[in-house]
Structure 1
């Protein structure tokens, strides 16, 4: 179910919880299935002989070439910044990815974020300003609705497509209150504040974007935009990293991440890449 399909008086995050009788193990399995299926689907697409190549982020590459060119995609979202130990894990993975594709854009550590709830995207500054005016006075109460509740994310794994790479997590099965419950409750509190809400991401995902493609140069050869051998090596490397994460990292406490009300901050403006013009908590 998508936000567009859900009636205005329903919470789109309820669908997964209700379908799985609020069972943490089943909800976590849905997150795992989503990321596994997505990686398989993208691997099949990118290894096919008809694959036309990586898809650079042209807005980002333009901003890197000329920072004075404005990004017109203004948004408003509630984020959780990762703790230091997760940022350290991300940095190690970014270094390995950059060694193979030196022209990818590595998300700076201070930009790393997990979107708990996207309220609006690709709007004008004036539209976002009006939403901030509605949301800001209620934000303390929105966090208060989570008092005593927190969600724990575990089992980091790289997720990928032809445009970007992310570090994804699944909800911990040992707690009945999952990350999807947290997303539902934040969404409900925002709705009750009468802030207009259009969330794009209601699928079972919890991820931090760690790198984006801004060039095709790492995956071409002899003037051709795509060398399938290089693409195949890229995917093999990601799959190898994921096997290492599962066997060597998942069992370590430093691989988990707890998100509670104190973790939440609203960011607004041109926040697409993780550096927002404004914030409040």
Structure 2
């Protein structure tokens, strides 16, 4: 299926600025996450850093301050890509390494792991989301099946896994492939159609259904949230932040990233380890999800 790309599609802007070149797009994704990690590292290790930014909703849903019967009041309509088994296994390894130095971290359950291809609506009421869902269901211009199955016929690959972080959460992030060798899993791929092209196309497909898109996430990022902070436990002494514990966690992230690059990025012999390659939506397409954020 061919698409006419909207001139005001925010994802098309980066594609145009990158001359529709996968190598340039990959570089933009890598620069974004590397610069952000360095910025956050500097902020978190500064003397005036006073503690993690806790997820106030998640704190009421899980952990030591859990409130029985509490429901997240925020509702959303999102389009997700679920990671395949090899990426889930990689995330499990990373989560164990993080938990080793930060036992109080809240880890994203395996069954909830996802990357957000497109956030259609965020923090609305259940009724407002239902109105959008009914618009989607009644669309004849673009069907839900066409949206969900788009990556099956328009494959894109993600490579170079790396832990990205800030004061509130951690994620496993990726960069779009750019003509690196393919594994048997992907069956050969020229990579001209990238993950950013997929995001662009899904944006336009959703708008063709008649739904306005109110996405907050248009930056060059492909990430799966894997951990959040819901307590300062383990990082305080006598009610004050223990900077040595913070340093230990930041150092562990650095160690993990060195191992990921050495073991799961494209290798010097030209091969790509299967554990580090994600063919987006290859197994089940995309997931159109509505409901509570947490």
1:145 deviates by 5.4
1:143 deviates by 4.2
Describe the SS at the equivalent of 2:57.
helix
Question: Which runs of 5 or more structure 1 residues have no equivalent in the other structure?
Answer: 1-7, 274-281
Which residue of the partner structure matches residue 239 of structure 2? 223
1:140 deviates by 1.6
Distance in 2 (CA, whole Å) between partners of 1:114 and 1:144 is 16
Among candidates 184, 202, 206, match of residue 218 of structure 2: 202
Distance in 2 (CA, whole Å) between partners of 1:53 and 1:144 is 43
User: CA distance change for structure 1 residues 49 and 29 in 2, over 3 Å: closer, same or farther?
Assistant: same
1:136 deviates by 3.0
Describe the SS at the equivalent of 1:131.
helix
Which residue of the partner structure matches residue 244 of structure 1? 259
Question: Structure 1: which 4+ aligned runs deviate by more than 4 Å?
Answer: 143-147
Which residue of the partner structure matches residue 97 of structure 1? 98
Which residue of the partner structure matches residue 263 of structure 1? 285
1:58 deviates by 1.4
- Cα RMSD (Å): 1.5
Instruction: State the TM-score, normalizing by the size of structure 2.
Output: 0.86
Among candidates 147, 155, 166, match of residue 161 of structure 1: 166
Distance in 1 (CA, whole Å) between partners of 2:117 and 2:29 is 14
CA contact (8 A) 2:76 2:122 kept: yes
Which residue of the partner structure matches residue 56 of structure 1? 54
Distance in 1 (CA, whole Å) between partners of 2:151 and 2:86 is 24
CA contact (8 A) 1:146 1:185 kept: no
Question: Which runs of 5 or more structure 2 residues have no equivalent in the other structure?
Answer: 1-5, 180-190, 267-272
Distance in 2 (CA, whole Å) between partners of 1:97 and 1:180 is 29
CA contact (8 A) 2:87 2:278 kept: yes
Which residue of the partner structure matches residue 70 of structure 2? 69
Which residue of the partner structure matches residue 79 of structure 2? 78
Q: Which string of whole-angstrom CA distances, capped at 9 and with x for unpartnered residues, describes residues 73-125 of structure 1?
A: 10000001111111111111111111111111111100101100000000000
User: CA distance change for structure 1 residues 144 and 162 in 2, over 3 Å: closer, same or farther?
Assistant: closer
Distance in 1 (CA, whole Å) between partners of 2:152 and 2:110 is 28
Distance in 2 (CA, whole Å) between partners of 1:42 and 1:61 is 23
